């Protein structure tokens, strides 16, 4: 095969041609959709002298005609390009192509999902619909006419509907106009049999906006929460950022076959059903939170992504990092800010920190790519949000709002860069953020070590920062790290509040004078920077911080560190692992505070994952980590058994379901207590779990009980497990999203037969090997099961490689997302590393490998 070539940021040049208008007419047919495009074009003065030659992008198009200014064009075609010659400086290009939505299994461009026509054009899917300069810095005003059989009743596209009518020949049409210039990746079309939940929102200026959420008829009763979340998002963006919606209508469509979570197409958002559908009996609290966050995220993109877009795809975090930060702010305001922050940091450490330590490590603004879809990553999204959050921290709320107002004023209607964004922060605040820009350019997770001394009433902190080498960046310059800290006296009182230190040098010393006694430092409050912090704590300090720190994140971090230190020490010993009396006492004291903030208590008492423990080791000790973590679960379960029963019984009251912060917290702590009780293996505990699994009045409680069942100690409750799984599947086999949960909890079970079960589940009637949600819920979930995926015999690796090889010809985007767990082989023992490398080589040897999979496999093997 020919080796795909990378694209480099340094080679960016402005587009040679600008498109003022794009008028599309699509006559829909499953196998022969006809697309006519009329582009009003002009040479771009910013691109230099006009050569009269222009190349457009396309893929999988059957071209029937190409006309320039009503005359046959002089052009050359390849599989991926249309090159025109002898063009005047202003011209109209008309083309007609035929495409096949039914055969489009990539789910990119225009495709069919359960009989519904749907598009996904980000990042480079529009080229699969028609010839176009498919790059984000070409912004055009779109008019779209859809013609379809009357058996396809609902026709939707971007913008406002100008006209619709029955054509009298068994077809009908609808014409839409989007008055705002947009890049092609924001184009959208949906057509099919759908039902709408409708509502109205009145903006701050008094404009009435029609809202419509479209879904299959049987799912429309699950759309109410999403509608309420949309209205809350619109209100919040007006109040917090001064941003109003700008069209007459806002559509959301829920689609079952969708590669991504959701897509912010202007005025016509297309969503994975996972992030729209929610009802108490089918969705968990986690699902509700996901719906609320993603609804908000896509709505917020209207300004941070659509009205202001990216100059090129290297700037992807300009829109995604900023919008993730905004949706995190929103979710914090809607619920518990402390628990939201802890949840976000857990996610960052579980997903992004490993990426930074892998062959796929890349900066928030990458320097190059082979396939841009491979860079919709935790680094671009989650770390990108942390980079935005640090700027918010450095500026403070007032200057942040001033800077964002300037960003909207200065760049509305433009395609810009991350540097343009930071320049607005500088202009509004007067701060020099030159060094801060390194967060966009340098890959890797910085580490900060802290040494301290106390003498004559002065506390001295010596801070040293470093960052490990990554591909193409063997040495790193110092980052600008905002480090939030406080000092606690012996009674746990704050001495200085929270101060933000600008750490800009490889080594810095900070002194605090006038102290009567040596204080306890509280560091990295609020997780003020995405770094690893290393400080040698004195005996009792972590328990003290857990009990007294005024910063919720720092309290949680102290509790987690207390657990981690005990667990890592046990991993390093040959003796049977035991839980220390100090850890038991700290957990008991934390449990005693249950009732004040259940959600926070549940976060503190949840053990660090096996994956995160592995990240803290040079070589991941797969079996020993699993053995120790299981021993700690059972040790804490046994030592606190009466406390767990007290907590569980106080919350097992059968109260009606409400999605509210206090109720979510109660269910979270109840579920954690039940999981710990299950580890005791007693008849009473197994009976309580089985009873909740059978009789719960909401999916949160039902799923937490079923998860506790499959996580019971080996040889305990086998009959209850089998009955619980069978009863759940029998009840919910017609609900695709619920069955996704059923697949995942089995894929994540720590049982020796998990791989065999996963293989059998790939043949289950509810499993679809072409549906992204199903693949993620079973195959990718299993790859996250550290103990079972990393079996010493390599069977887990062979299974994953087989799935990648089978899926790549069908949907390379999804196939590529399965590969990264194999690419981290250097972190494992020699035996496992050799087996993983063998599977990567087997994938690499496949003829016709997609660029998507090739890029990740090649980089993984290169190191």
Helix (H) or strand (E) holding 229: helix 224-241
Q: Using DSSP bridges, classify how beta strands 368-369 and 7-8 pair: parallel, antiparallel or unpaired.
A: antiparallel
Distances (CA, A) of 445 to 46, 327, 328, 354: 38, 23, 21, 9
Q: Which residues pair with 522 in a beta bridge?
A: 486
Query: In 3D, which of 566, 455, 569, 467 has the Cα closest to residue 515?
Result: 455
Q: Using CA of residue 421, residue 425, residue 431, residue 435, what is the dihedral sign?
A: negative
* Among the listed residues 561, 565, 536, the one whose alpha carbon sits nearest the alpha carbon of residue 549: 561
Chain centroid, CA 627 distance in Å:
30
Q: How far is CA 551 from the centre of its chain?
A: 26
Q: How far is CA 573 from CA 570, 618, 627, 731, in A?
A: 5, 16, 12, 46
Cis ω on the peptide bond leading into residue 123 (within 30° of 0)? yes
Partners of 160 in beta bridges: 177
**Active site includes 610?**
no
* Residue 182 DSSP class: E
In this structure, the chain runs to a length of 863
**Helix ranges, 472-532 (H):** none
If one counts every other C-beta atom within 10 angstroms of the C-beta of residue 193, the result is: 13
Among the listed residues 276, 283, 281, the one whose alpha carbon sits nearest the alpha carbon of residue 731? 281
The torsion region of residue 129 among left (phi > 0), alpha (psi -120 to 50) and beta comes to alpha
Query: Burial level of 582, CB count in 10 A (0-12/13-18/19+)?
Result: middle
Q: Of the residues 298, 320, 355, 371, which is catalytic?
A: 298
Work out whether strand 208-215 and strand 249-255 pair parallel, antiparallel, or are unpaired: parallel
Which string of DSSP letters, residue by residue, matches 332-375?
A: HHHS-HHHHHHHHHHHIIIIIHHHHTSTT---SS-SEES-GGGG
Distance CA(403)–CA(678), nearest Å, equals: 52
How many other CB atoms are there within 10 angstroms of residue 235's CB atom? 13
**857: Cα within 13 Å, side-chain hemisphere:** 27
Rounded CA separation 724/730 (Å): 10
User: Cβ(843)–Cβ(800) under 8 Å?
Assistant: no
Single out the residue of 123, 184, 132, 137 nearest to residue 369, CA to CA: 123
27 within 8 A of 33, measured Cβ to Cβ: yes
- Residue 131 and residue 748: Cα distance in Å, rounded? 44
Give the whole-angstrom CA distance, residue 579 versus residue 631: 8
Beta bridge partners of 66: 95
Catalytic residues: 298
């Amino acid at each position: 095969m020919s080796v795909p070539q990378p694209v480099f940021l340094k080679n960016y040049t402005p587009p040679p041609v600008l498109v003022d208008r794009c008028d599309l007419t699509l006559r829909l047919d499953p196998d022969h959709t006809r697309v006519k495009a009329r582009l009003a074009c002009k040479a771009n003065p910013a691109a230099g002298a006009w050569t009269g030659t222009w190349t457009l992008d396309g893929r999988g198009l059957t071209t029937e005609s190409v006309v320039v200014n009503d005359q046959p064009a002089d052009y050359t075609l390849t599989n991926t390009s249309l090159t025109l010659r002898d063009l005047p400086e202003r011209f109209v290009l008309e083309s007609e192509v035929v495409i096949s939505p039914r055969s489009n299994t990539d789910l990119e461009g225009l495709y069919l999902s359960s009989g519904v026509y749907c598009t996904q054009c980000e990042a480079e899917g529009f080229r699969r619909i028609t010839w176009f300069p498919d790059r984000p810095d070409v912004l055009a005003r779109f008019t779209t006419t859809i013609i379809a059989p009357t058996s396809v009743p609902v026709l939707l596209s971007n913008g406002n509907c100008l006209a619709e009518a029955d054509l009298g020949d068994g077809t009908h049409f609808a014409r839409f106009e989007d008055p705002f210039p947009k890049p092609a990746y924001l184009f959208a079309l949906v057509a099919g049999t759908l039902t709408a939940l409708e509502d109205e929102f009145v903006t701050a200026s008094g404009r009435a906006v029609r809202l419509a959420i479209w879904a299959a008829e049987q799912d429309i009763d699950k759309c109410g929460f999403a509608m309420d979340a949309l209205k809350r998002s619109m209100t919040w963006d007006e109040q917090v950022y001064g941003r109003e919606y700008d069209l007459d209508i806002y559509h959301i469509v829920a689609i079952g076959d969708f590669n991504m979570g959701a897509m912010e197409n202007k005025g016509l958002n297309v969503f994975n059903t996972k992030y729209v559908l929610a009802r108490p009996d089918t969705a968990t609290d986690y699902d509700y939170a996901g719906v609320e966050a993603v609804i908000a995220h896509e709505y917020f993109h209207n300004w941070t992504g659509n009205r202001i877009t990216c100059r090129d795809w290297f700037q992807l975090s300009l829109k995604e990092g900023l919008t993730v930060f905004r949706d995190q702010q929103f979710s914090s305001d809607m619920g518990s800010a402390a628990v939201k922050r802890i949840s976000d940091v857990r996610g960052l450490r579980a997903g992004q920190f490993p990426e930074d330590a892998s062959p796929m490590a890349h900066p928030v603004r990458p320097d190059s790519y082979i396939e841009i879809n491979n860079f919709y990553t935790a680094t671009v999204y989650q770390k990108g949000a942390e980079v935005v959050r640090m700027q918010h921290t450095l500026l403070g709320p007032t200057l942040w709002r001033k800077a964002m107002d300037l960003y909207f004023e200065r760049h509305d209607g433009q395609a810009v860069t991350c540097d343009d964004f930071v320049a607005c922060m500088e202009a509004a605040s007067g701060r020099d953020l030159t060094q801060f820009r390194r967060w966009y350019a340098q890959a890797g997770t910085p580490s900060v070590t802290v040494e301290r001394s106390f003498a004559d009433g002065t506390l001295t902190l010596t801070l040293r920062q470093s960052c490990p080498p990554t591909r193409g960046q063997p040495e790193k310059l110092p980052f600008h790290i905002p480090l939030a800290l406080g000092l606690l006296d012996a009674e746990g009182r704050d001495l200085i509040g929270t101060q933000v230190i600008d750490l800009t040098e490889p080594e810095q010393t900070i002194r605090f004078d006038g102290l009567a006694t040596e204080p306890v430092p509280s560091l990295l409050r609020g997780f003020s920077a995405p770094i690893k912090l290393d400080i040698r704590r004195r005996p009792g300090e972590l328990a003290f911080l857990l009990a007294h720190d005024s910063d919720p994140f720092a309290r949680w971090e102290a509790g987690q560190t207390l657990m981690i230190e005990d667990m890592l020490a046990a991993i390093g010993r040959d003796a049977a692992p035991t839980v220390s009396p100090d850890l038991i006492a700290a957990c008991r004291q934390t449990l005693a505070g249950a009732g004040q903030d259940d959600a926070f208590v549940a976060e503190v008492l949840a053990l660090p994952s096996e994956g995160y423990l592995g990240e803290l080791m040079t070589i991941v000790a797969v079996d020993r980590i699993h053995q120790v973590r299981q021993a700690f679960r059972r040790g804490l379960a046994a030592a606190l058994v009466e406390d767990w029963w007290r907590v569980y019984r106080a919350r097992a009251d059968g109260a009606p379901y409400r999605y509210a912060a206090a109720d979510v917290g109660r269910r979270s702590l109840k579920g954690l207590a039940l999981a710990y009780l299950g580890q005791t293996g007693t008849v009473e505990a197994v009976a309580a779990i089985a009873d909740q699994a059978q009789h719960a009045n909401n999916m949160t409680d039902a799923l937490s009980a079923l998860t506790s069942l499959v996580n019971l100690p080996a040889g305990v409750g086998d009959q209850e497990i089998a009955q619980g799984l069978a009863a759940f599947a029998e009840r919910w086999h017609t609900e695709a999203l619920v069955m996704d949960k059923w697949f995942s909890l089995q894929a994540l079970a720590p049982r020796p037969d998990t791989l065999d079960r996963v293989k059998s589940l790939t043949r289950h009637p509810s499993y679809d090997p072409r549906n992204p949600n199903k693949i993620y819920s079973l195959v990718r979930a299993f790859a996250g099961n550290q103990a079972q995926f990393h079996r010493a015999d390599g069977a887990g690796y062979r299974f994953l490689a087989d799935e990648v090889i089978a899926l790549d010809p069908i949907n390379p985007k999804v196939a590529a997302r399965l590969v990264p767990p194999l690419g981290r082989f250097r972190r494992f023992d020699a035996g496992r590393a050799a087996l993983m490398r063998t599977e990567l080589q087997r994938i690499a040897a496949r003829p016709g490998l997609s660029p998507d999979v090739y890029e990740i496999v090649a980089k993984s093997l290169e190191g």
